[in-house]
Amino acid sequence: MNQALRAGRIATKNEEKIKKLLDEVGLMIKDIPMENTPPETGAIIYRKIYEITDNNDPYKEIKAKNISHALHLYPKLKQKVDESDDRLLTAIRLAVAGNVIDLGISKEFNITKDVEKLLHQEFAIFDYELFKKELEKTDEILYIGDNSGEAVFDKILIEEIGKPVTFVVREIPIINDVTKKEAKQIGIDKIAKVISSGTTAPGTILGLCNDDFIRKFKNADMIISKGQGNYEGLSNIYRSIFFLLKVKCPIIARNVGVKENDIILKGMNIK
Amino acid sequence: MNQALRAGRIATKNEEKIKKLLDEVGLMIKDIPMENTPPETGAIIYRKIYEITDNNDPYKEIKAKNISHALHLYPKLKQKVDESDDRLLTAIRLAVAGNVIDLGISKEFNITKDVEKLLHQEFAIFDYELFKKELEKTDEILYIGDNSGEAVFDKILIEEIGKPVTFVVREIPIINDVTKKEAKQIGIDKIAKVISSGTTAPGTILGLCNDDFIRKFKNADMIISKGQGNYEGLSNIYRSIFFLLKVKCPIIARNVGVKENDIILKGMNIK
Residues of B with CB below 8 A from A30's CB? 23-24, 26-27
In 3D, which of B35, B25, B33 has the Cα closest to residue A28? Answer: B25
Q: What is the pLDDT of residue A76?
A: 92
Give contacts of B 34-73 with A, CB under 8 A.
Answer: 34
pLDDT at A106: 42
Mean pLDDT of the A228-246 span: 95
User: Distance between CA B49 and CA B54 in Å, rounded?
Assistant: 8
Mean pLDDT of chain A: 93
Please name which of A145, A159, A152, A127 lies closest in space to residue A270, comparing C-alpha atoms: A127
What is the rounded end-to-end Cα distance, in angstroms, of chain A?
41
Does A105 have pLDDT greater than 70? no
**What pLDDT is stored for residue A117 in this prediction?**
82
Tens of pLDDT, residue by residue over A70-92, are 898 899 999 999 999 999 999 99
| List of chain B residues with pLDDT < 70 | 101-111
Q: How far is A26 from chain B (nearest CA, A)?
A: 4
pLDDT tens figures, A118-174: 888 999 999 999 999 999 999 999 999 999 999 999 999 999 999 999 999 999 999
Contact A47, A173 (CB under 8 A): no
Q: Does B29 touch chain A if contact means CB atoms closer than 8 Å?
A: yes
Chain B hits for A2, Cβ within 8 Å = 1-2
Residue B148 distance to chain A (closest CA, Å): 29
Asked whether the beta carbons of residue A30 and residue B26 sit closer than 8 angstroms, the reply is yes
Q: Using a CB–CB cutoff of 8 Å, tell me whether B219 touches chain A.
A: no
Of A16, A23, A34, which has the smallest distance from its Cβ to B30's Cβ?
A: A23
Q: How far is the C-alpha of B235 from the C-alpha of B246, rounded, in Å?
A: 15
pLDDT score for B108 = 44
Strand ordering across the sheet containing A141-144: A123-126, A263-268, A241-246, A222-226, A141-144, A165-169, A193-196
3-state DSSP helix/strand/coil % of chain B, to nearest 5: 55, 15, 30
pLDDT class of A102 with cuts at 50, 70, 90: low
Q: Are B148 and B140 in contact (CB under 8 A)?
A: no
Min distance B16 CA to chain A CA atoms (Å)? 9
Q: Please check whether residue B132 is in contact with residue B88, taking contact to mean a CB–CB distance below 8 angstroms.
A: yes
How big is the A-B interface in CB pairs under 8 Å?
36
Can you tell me the mean pLDDT for A254-261? 94
Q: Which residue in A22, A23, A30 is closest to B23 by CB distance?
A: A30
Rounding to the nearest 10 degrees, give the CA dihedral for residues B211, B215, B218, B221.
-140
Q: What percent of chain A has pLDDT over 90?
A: 86
Which residues in chain A have their CB less than 8 angstroms from residue B30's CB?
A: 23-24, 26-27
Once rounded to an integer, what is the mean pLDDT over residues A80-107? 83
Digit-coded pLDDT (tens) for A17-47: 999 999 999 999 999 999 999 999 999 999 9
Q: What is the pLDDT of residue A118?
A: 82
Domains of chain B and any CATH numbers: 2-53 (no CATH), 60-268 (3.40.50.10880)
Phi/psi for B127 (5° steps) reads -85, 55
Using CA coordinates, name the residue in chain A closest to B27: A27
Nearest CB partner across the interface for A26, out of B19, B27, B34: B27
What is the tens place of the pLDDT at every residue in B202-211?
999 999 999 9
> Strands B263-268, B165-169: parallel, antiparallel or unpaired by DSSP?
unpaired
> Under a CB-based contact definition with an 8 Å cutoff, are residues B205 and B43 in contact?
yes
Residue A107 has pLDDT above 60, yes or no: no
